[in-house]
Amino acid sequence: FDVIFHWASSLSPDLNLHGAFGAQCSNPAMSIIGAEDEDFENDLNDVSEYKNLLKDRPTHLLVFMQHVFLQFDPAPLLCYLHADLFRTLSAKETKKQFVEFYNTFLDKGAILKVTVPPSVSNELDRNRPDLLSEETQRRYAQEVQSMQASEVAKQLEDFRQKRMMGMTPNEAELNDVESHYPTDRIPMEMKEKSVAENLLDKMSEMHQSIFSAVAFYMKHLGVKTRAVDSKKSKGGFFRSKLVKVNIDFLIPLPLASFFSFEGPILVPEAPGHSPTSPSPQLEEMDPRLLEFEHDPPNWRELACPEALSCLSKKEIKRQEVINELFATEHAHVRMLSVLQMVFSKPLEREELLTSTELATIFPSLDEIHEMHYNFYENLKKLRLEDNFIVKSISTTVLNRFGGTEGEWFQKLTARFCSHQTWALDQIKSRQKKEPRFNSFIQEAESKPQCRRLQLKDIIPIEMQRVTKYPLLLENIAKNTEDLAEKEKIKQSAECCRKILNHVNDEVKEMENLLNLKDYQRRLDTSGLKPSTELYAEYKNIDLTLKKMLYEGPLTWKVTKEKAIEVQCVLLGDLLVLLQKQDDKMVLKCQSKSNIAVQEGKQMLSPIIKLDSVFLREVATDRKAFYVIFTWDSGAQIYELVAQSVGERTIWTNVIKSAVDDLKKSGAPMRLPLPLGAGGVPLSPST
């Protein structure tokens, strides 16, 4: 990250970014120069050296981008990066790319419109961008780039603070890169690019225009993506025609907050409605939500300078984290308002979704919005009472997350978050099937309130918010001197941790149920017919009536020569081995020989009852394990192979736990002998 820091500051000498990033690398083999190195400026004066360093850190750059896209307007950073490319382009390439740069970032209707210096804007109003000289095009690009520098600095500083608090995305990918020990076979550059390419592919689901701009820039760093068609990536930033959005508010929102209004304020839609779109011409905005259109000022800007000068370093850190709690709650209430006012209410008003359907896609949304709004108001009240240097916050946070209020918070949040996967699937399915619904969603997502986020990016915000509370409160407690105050904040953090664990459990349980429903829909039991008894017992099995505990791919070694890839599903009382065949999930008996099939002997069932199961390790393969179940006349042995030793350990642990739970519940510990299964069959590797 020091690379990004020095690279950004070098391109804008007046940009004060010192200390924006500390050295984050834990691997001594990686040559990263720390921000504290006094010779750094002398060693890296040449811009090309910054860019060479940057090329070695694409994963870090993408993680920073991801943070910016989640928290800020992405246009300034993307513009800043693209402007830098003009330093290396030939005259012919500059001519071509400047036109696309203009269409993407400078044109009045550009999707990624940025602030442009008046002198450049005036010239571009009078002259076509393609008729400017190559030298003028380069100069304009640099001037526009300099205009974005202060915003990029703000984003860098915000990222630094958030990473210190453990609140930045993709930490696992960074750790993967930073813990890599370079070898001749896998040097650090190869590792960086490999992780960066995977990250870039994951980002392909974001807004098409933003992703195209990211992919185009990363291509110049040697990072490619499978998500962009090769023909599209040969040209400029975008091949598809850019949609121009011009927004005119009846009352400019920056001014509206200075006036007092009675009743709702009507904000006109952006012009250019599709004739088939059901989007309403006007939408209502609650006057109290106007303040959420603008980020709140930092506490330092509002606090008394004399009072500030008396604070210790630890207290300043404490106030910074409290301010972070306040500012992020402000942002969260704003996005919940968008979910309400731009999507949920208009969808019902236009009869695109019924109230029942909305209650399952956005369950308890109004209550959740009100709950977070009240918490925000209480935090704001604390700031005002204490002249923006908050003395005590423990009672406010404990009242929110502890006791009956905490239980209510947990209930509402768990209900909303557990439905988000299903909601996203429903919305995606309707968009494919219903053009009118799709038009509505696309036009809603293009509104300025969405800040270039799509609905699929907005729905998970409650889950993201719940994960941040424990970290924020723990950081406040860590910097609190008063012992009683510290203890109450720690108690609040623990309440948040319990809420988060409960929500995670509910989300997982719902995801498991949805997966079971999908398996049930695709289930084919005809493969059980070789065993009359098994087919009779399981031909009408309903997986959704059971609780899924774990699932994943395994290899079923029937014999030394016969290995089958299966999707293994652990239920409360069964271990089910499903084979994927086209779109079906097949339950199929297996045998150790063709003769056995003909005679109906030694049939291995794809459904294993857990009430008499025990496990054994496979001495010759650390990734494999035996599942053995017994009955009065013998036993059957299954050899299952996981994809890694770690995955094998997880499987054996969850199966043992399920078996133990069955024993505690008093389930019978003997199974009837399957038809034709005389004697004790051996493991294929025995």
Q: 2, 32 in Cβ contact below 8 A?
A: yes
pLDDT of res. 166: 67
Please give the pLDDT value at position 189: 80
Residue 418 pLDDT > 80: yes
Mean pLDDT computed over 477-483: 95
Confidence of residue 270 (pLDDT cuts 50, 70, 90): very low
Q: How confident is the model at residue 288 (pLDDT cuts 50, 70, 90)?
A: low
Distances (CA, A) of 481 to 327, 478, 651: 23, 8, 45
The confidence band for 585, taking pLDDT boundaries of 50, 70 and 90, is very high
* Residue in 56, 32, 67 with CA at minimum distance from that of residue 154: 67
pTM, entire model: 0.60
Q: Do residues 217 and 78 lie in contact, with contact meaning Cβ atoms separated by under 8 Å?
A: yes
Sorted by where each begins, the domain ranges of the chain are 48-221, 292-516, 532-592+602-665
Please give the pLDDT value at position 53.
47
Q: What is the 3-state secondary structure (H, E, C) of 36-90?
A: CCCCHHHHCCCHHHHHHHHHCCHHHHHHHHHHHHHHCCCHHHHHHHHHHHCCCCC
Question: Which of helix, strand or coil describes residue 364?
Answer: coil
CATH 2.40.110.10 fits 532-592+602-665, yes or no: no
Give the mean pLDDT of 119-130.
87
Least confident of 114-123, 192-201, 271-280: 271-280
Mean pLDDT for 265-276 is 37
* CATH fold for the domain made of 48-221: Regulator of G-protein Signalling 4; domain 2 (1.10.167)
In terms of average pLDDT, the best of 88-102, 107-121, 188-202, 645-659 is 645-659
- Residue whose structure tokens are 């590792």: 191
Mean pLDDT lowest among 85-94, 159-168, 385-394, 615-624 = 159-168
CATH architecture for segment(s) 292-516: Up-down Bundle (1.20)
Which helix (DSSP H) or strand (DSSP E) does residue 531 occupy? none
Residue 266: pLDDT above 50? no
pLDDT-wise least confident of 216-230, 439-453, 537-551, 553-567: 216-230
Which of 211-220, 438-447, 661-670 has the least mean pLDDT?
Answer: 661-670
- pLDDT cut 90: percent of the chain above it: 44
> For 140-154, 314-328, 666-680, which range has the lowest pLDDT when averaged over its residues?
666-680
pLDDT band per the 50, 70, 90 thresholds, residue 291: confident
**pLDDT at res. 90:** 87
Q: What is the pLDDT of residue 9?
A: 44
The arithmetic mean of pLDDT across residues 657-680, rounded, is: 58
Look at residue 559 and tell me whether its pLDDT is greater than 60: yes
Name, in order, each residue with C-beta under 8 angstroms of 93's C-beta and a sequence gap of 6 or more: none
pLDDT > 70? residue 634: no
As a whole number of angstroms, the distance between CA 75 and CA 110 comes to 10
CB within 8 A of 76, min separation 6: which ones? 114, 115, 148, 151, 152, 155
The set of residues, in sequence order, having a beta carbon less than 8 Å from that of 379 and lying 6+ positions away, is 325, 326, 329, 393, 396
Tell me what pLDDT residue 595 has.
Answer: 57
Q: Which band of pLDDT confidence, cut at 50, 70 and 90, is reported for residue 123?
A: confident
Q: What is residue 287's predicted lDDT score, i.e. its pLDDT?
A: 60
Q: What is the pLDDT of residue 236?
A: 42
Structure confidence at residue 202 (pLDDT): 81
Residue 244: the pLDDT is 32
Residue 602: per-residue pLDDT? 62
183 or 596, which is more confident: 183
Which residues touch 579 (CB under 8 Å, ≥6 apart)? 527, 564, 565, 566, 567, 585, 586, 587, 588, 606
Tokens representing residue 68 in the block:
């910016």
> In the structure, what pLDDT confidence band is assigned to residue 625 with cuts at 50, 70 and 90?
very high
Is residue 213 predicted with pLDDT exceeding 70? yes
With cut-offs at 50, 70 and 90, classify the pLDDT of residue 594: low
Mean pLDDT of 587-603: 67
Please give the full DSSP string across 568-620, using - where no structure is assigned. EEEESSEEEEEEEETTEEE---B-SSHHHHHHT-SPBPSEEEGGGEEEEE-TT
pLDDT band of 317, cuts 50, 70, 90 = very high
pLDDT greater than 60 at residue 36? no
Q: Look at residue 30 in the predicted model and tell me its pLDDT.
A: 31
CA angle at residue 70 from 346 to 87, to 5 degrees? Answer: 125
**Residue bearing tokens 């090769």:** 230
Q: How sure is the predictor about 175, in pLDDT bands with cuts at 50, 70 and 90? A: confident
Residue 563 pLDDT > 80: yes
- Cβ–Cβ < 8 Å for 663, 625: no
Angstrom distance (rounded) from CA 179 to CA 570: 34
Q: What is the pLDDT of residue 445?
A: 92
What integer pLDDT is reported at residue 55 of this predicted model?
52
The encoded tokens of residue 55 equal 């090329």
Q: What gap in Å lies between CA 340 and CA 59, rounded to an integer?
A: 35
For the cut 60, the answer to whether the pLDDT of residue 261 exceeds it is no
Strands, E assignment, 257-348: 265-268, 282-285
Per-residue b/e over 248-263, b at no fewer than 16 CB within 10 Å? Answer: eeeeebeebeeeeeee
Q: Which band of pLDDT confidence, cut at 50, 70 and 90, is reported for residue 524?
A: very high
* Neighbour count for residue 619 (Cβ, 10 Å): 8
**Residue 678 binned pLDDT confidence (cut-offs 50, 70, 90):** very low
Q: Which of 66-75, 117-126, 369-378 has the highest mean pLDDT?
A: 369-378
Q: Up-side HSE of residue 252: CA atoms within 13 Å toward CB?
A: 2
What integer is the mean pLDDT of 590-603? Answer: 62
Between residues 239 and 536, the one the model is more confident about: 536
User: Residue 222 burial (CB < 10 Å; 0-12/13-18/19+)?
Assistant: middle
Confidence of residue 249 (pLDDT cuts 50, 70, 90): very low
Q: Comparing 5-14, 70-79, 438-447, which segment has the lowest mean pLDDT?
A: 5-14
Lowest mean pLDDT among 19-33, 275-289, 335-349, 470-484: 19-33
Give pLDDT tens digits for 9-30. Answer: 444 434 433 333 333 333 333 3
- The HSE-up count of residue 241 (CA atoms within 13 Å, CB side) is 3
Check residue 289 and give its pLDDT.
62
Instruction: Please say if the pLDDT value at position 675 is more than 60.
Output: no
Say what the pLDDT of residue 56 is.
62
